[in-house]
Structure 1
Amino acid sequence: MIKNSLQAKELAVILSVSKSKAGQIIRELNKELEDEGYIAIRGRIPVQLARKKFPYHDLSDERIMEELKKVNEQHL
């Protein structure tokens, strides 16, 4: 399954930042989207935008799914 958007908890794991920092990043990027005339979904950012803004992080579909599996296993 390919994810189209990332939530703060997912972005935090992938970027190795706190959940609050990930939320701040999402708010800033959503503001940029709205300023460009796009509709932004609160609390989420498109994966394509994350790939564009964080070119030095591995945001491949495989890596995203791998990290999310780890997070889900920790919560069980």
Structure 2
Amino acid sequence: MDTNMLTKIEGDQYKKRPDVKVGDTVRLHMRIKEGDKERIQVFEGIVISLKGSGMSKTMTVRKISMGVGVERIVPFH
């Protein structure tokens, strides 16, 4: 695939996101599907890493839940 075409397609898919840095506290609203039901779960934690660039950028968010550390890797865009 042509690089210019790929860049244009990716550019159309970007959403305006706030500037997030390592150490920031974020609140993620995650859609959870359990059987035939669907709900929104809030996951609040500290950003511990940012990896990748462009459409493949991800962030790792960590929180402590009931004394246990929980980390989630989520796509940025």
Larger radius of gyration: 2
**Structure 1 and Structure 2 fold alike (TM over 0.5):** no
Choose between structure 1 and 2: higher helix proportion: 1
Choose between structure 1 and 2: higher strand proportion: 2
Q: Name the TM-score, length of structure 2 as normaliser.
A: 0.25
Q: Name the TM-score, length of structure 1 as normaliser.
A: 0.25
